[in-house]
A and B are shown apart, each in its own frame.
Chain A
């Protein structure tokens, strides 16, 4: 059961990357990156549970924190630039 969910999540991440590639504005690409970060977090947790390693869940927690900080830094970087949105 868990391996099929892991395979589904890999396919779903690839489908979500389509919006990052074809998004017409910066906000669309950021939405796609947010979705990809959330699904990658779920994929890391599922892999950790399927391998039964406790130490991989710490990696997932740090990835969650860095995904949030990455979105914050990207909005800081792109705000105030005329003609790019």
Chain B
């Protein structure tokens, strides 16, 4: 029983539940994208750090470190790519009421 590994696995499970709930119940693509990106980054990196505590120093530690660094770079980049795709194709962000913004135009993009 490894205590830091158990702590990081518990953190990853909690973040994962929160991210899945956010992706299921949020009303818009941008808010869902925020929940998805936060969930994937924090939960998956918590699992990786727990695995690092579990395997100790060795060849598996180096490969886990390489995977963690690559995922830490590419996960926000892919979230940014999806948000840019949704913005450039004219998706309107969610407001509380759609009636109040009917006469307004988006100024940029």
Seen from chain A, the residues whose Cβ lies within 8 Å of a Cβ on chain B are 1-2, 5, 8-9, 12, 15-16, 18-19, 25, 27-28, 30-32, 34-35, 38-39, 41-42, 45-46, 48-49, 52, 54, 57-58, 60-61, 64-65, 67-68, 71-72, 75, 78-80, 85
**With A18-B24, A54-B59 as given contacts, are A42 and B39 in contact (CB-CB < 8 Å)?**
no
The answer to whether B47 and A42 have CB atoms under 8 Å apart is yes
The answer to whether B36 and A34 have CB atoms under 8 Å apart is yes
Q: Give the complex CA separation of A9 and B81 in angstroms.
A: 25
Q: Give the complex CA separation of A46 and B16 in angstroms.
A: 15
Q: Which residues of A contact B39 (CB under 8 A)?
A: 35
The answer to whether B24 and A75 have CB atoms under 8 Å apart is no
The answer to whether B24 and A60 have CB atoms under 8 Å apart is no
